[in-house]
Amino acid sequence: MLQKMLKAASWVMIAGLVIATVVPASERPVTGLQHDVEHFLSFAATGLTFGFAYAQNLRVNLFSAVVFSLALELSQIPLATRHARLGDFIVNAAASCLGIVIAHLCRKLIKDRAVSA
């Protein structure tokens, strides 16, 4: 049950990132935090959730996170009010990968403790 909820939550978060990326800049939600911090927190949280939901293959998850981050940035090129930035891609990809790695390490730690108990 928890796994299904995590999977659903991760896809909702991914959809939220897509929507926030392609809406006109004036309609993009802002938190008041610095631009890079907003990006880092939103992508790290999504990576963490996705990493817990889909823990089968770390390499595939990391590769997918980088490709997804790149695709999001490239999707902004034809949009009049948005700008694709290399810095955003780097922050987004790094944050997503960090979230996935943290989830992987947490799952491994929990599994190791269960085995040794």
28 domain residue, yes or no = no
14 domain residue, yes or no = yes
100 domain residue, yes or no = yes
111 domain residue, yes or no = yes
pLDDT digits (tens, 9 = 90+) for 81-116: 998 999 999 999 999 999 999 999 999 998 877 777
60 domain residue, yes or no = yes
pLDDT digits (tens, 9 = 90+) for 59-86: 999 999 999 999 999 999 999 999 899 9
Domain count of the fold of the chain: 1
pTM of the model: 0.91
Write the burial class of residue 11 (CB in 10 Å: 0-12 exposed, 13-18 middle, 19+ buried): middle
47 within 8 A of 6, measured Cβ to Cβ: no
Full domain range(s) for residue 75: 2-23+33-116
19 domain residue, yes or no = yes
CA distance 98 to 92: 10
36 within 8 A of 92, measured Cβ to Cβ: no
